Structure 1
Amino acid sequence: MDHRTRYTRIIREEAGRLGFAFIGFAKAMHMDEEARRLESWLNKGLHGEMGYMANHFEKRVDPTKLVPGAKTVISLMYNYFPEQGQTDPEAPKLSRYAYGKDYHFVLKDKLKALFTFIQEKVGAVEGRVFVDSAPVLERDWARRSGLGWVGRNTLLIHPKAGSYFFLAEAIVDLELVYDEPIKDYCGTCTRCVEACPTDAISPGGYVVDGSRCISYLTIELRASIPEEFSGKMENWMFGCDICQEVCPWNRFSTPHKEPDFEPHPDLLSMREEEWQELTEEVFRELFRKSAVKRTKYSGLKRNLDFLREGKKQSE
């Protein structure tokens, strides 16, 4: 067994021990096709007010700009699918990924542990780790490393486990054994396109107008939510899981085993009226270590008020 094969095997085993469900390896190189697609998406203004998406373009499409001498992009998937959901069907909805502790912190610690392990086992390895907070095209790298295909809803779909996963990366100057991409298994299915209430997914799929996505409207957008979306939010107050809920591949989803992703004891049982009467004190208690803090109390109240007005108008 040569050293590349041995290093690849022990890194894969350690990632599994740390709780990552899947890991793949891709050769670090300039992403020509993805660069053209990103440029087109940006030129059409489909990123809305997410100005940061246009920043550091070359870093996004060339991992050697992030790690000089990079040879491998290691992509990892971490399950966040919860065993239980919200109990009141009338309650405003929260995306599943935000039930527990902020994934940025949870996964960053695990990635740092993995990188330390690589350095201990291999020696002088240079690299960096990323969790959805740097200019890295994580879905494209996961696709290149054989972890799934990018579906019509533009999410990475694993053929045996679905799409309820966080993606993370380690870019290293270590040559490893590379995986091959797999084919697209969406076929003729267009359930996600048809189910999206704001028509954010293009008719043929594979392109999302970020400025129409409910996740963007409830999290990224700082201004008032445009009136055209009144009555179309399907009661989502933070994020949205619709295009995942209707995806046939998510019948393979299994509950995560991460204690840090368990919700606050009161969160899932909160009733509609409790959400509408939410105080800043309760917000701080519920979401003390949650990704929901990103929208702040004022942002979540804005979303709740918008949902309530939309409901009134439709009655």
Structure 2
Amino acid sequence: MTTRSKRKDEHVKLALAQHEKNNDFDLMRFYHHSFPEINYRDIDLSTHYLGQTFNYPFYINAMTGGSEKTKELNRKFALIAKRYGLMMVLGSQHAALDDKTLEESYRVVRDVNPEGFILGNINPNASVTEAKRAVEMIHANALSIHINPAQELTMDEGDRDFSHWLHRIESINKELDVPVIVKEVGFGMSRYTINQLQKIGIKHIDVSGKGGTNFVTIENTRSEGKRFSYLENWGLSTVESLIEAKPFMNKVEIMASGGIRNPLDVIKALALGAQAVGLSSVFLKMVHDKKEEEMYAEVDQFIDELKRIMLLLGKTNPRELTDTDIIWEGRLKER
């Protein structure tokens, strides 16, 4: 097993070991209406983003690939994406860019779901040539570029030079024929970061805030030194990031992920202006050691619960959700 493959398997194992915890979505409640005046059967969860219409306002977010174990996980994710018409984002493809023998752990997604809307995934160290290879590898419909300085700096083998990242992202965005999404990996985005991306022409952003899988904790556990526990609360939450993103929502398509634990969190993120919501750990738990019928039953239940919450809110479509439906607790507010 290569060093990258070993790391991929460690990331999955440690992500599964992390326990669900409270986060800033718990500071939000919705007004209750005793007369919703709509019928469950009239609820339509379809939404539009990346120039496509999807059946549901959530998608399978970047997780894995690069080893035999993660190949099987990707196969299961692809089965769900195909059955429900969900967008799927692959995990980082750099393992396969460095070692062609690992390409099948990513290509399996396209083999299972040949007509699906699938995103490739690279980091901003990639050249334009590598970005094109990542797209070609899986015939990607779009490309995600993940930015993760907090993870890199706490990873023993991580990057230490980020001076070229914005320039690389700008070049890739200009040269590719598919849409480019820039996403964090659980540390959120400030208004300043979103403005930087908007200025270089990025039209699609996943703010991916803290509150869910914590990669500082993961890298700290992997490290022999285990010295960065004091950074485990680093970053902005997904709720804070969506508030920061609000001034840009008429210029940039904003997606949300990070700390999405259940259908109610999905609805809350949509009410804060997200066009769509990415789920990682939720899907990881749905497929890990599960048979296909068990996976599908859990997705069916997730969708049913989304519709029930929409019914409680008296809304027939996610586009009708706004922040005027929210009651705030605590001190979260716009700057």
Using structure 1 for the length normalisation, give the TM-score: 0.26
Q: Which has the higher contact order (CA 8 A, sep 6+)?
A: 1
- What is the TM-score when the length of structure 2 is the normalising length? 0.25
Q: Which has the higher helix share?
A: 2
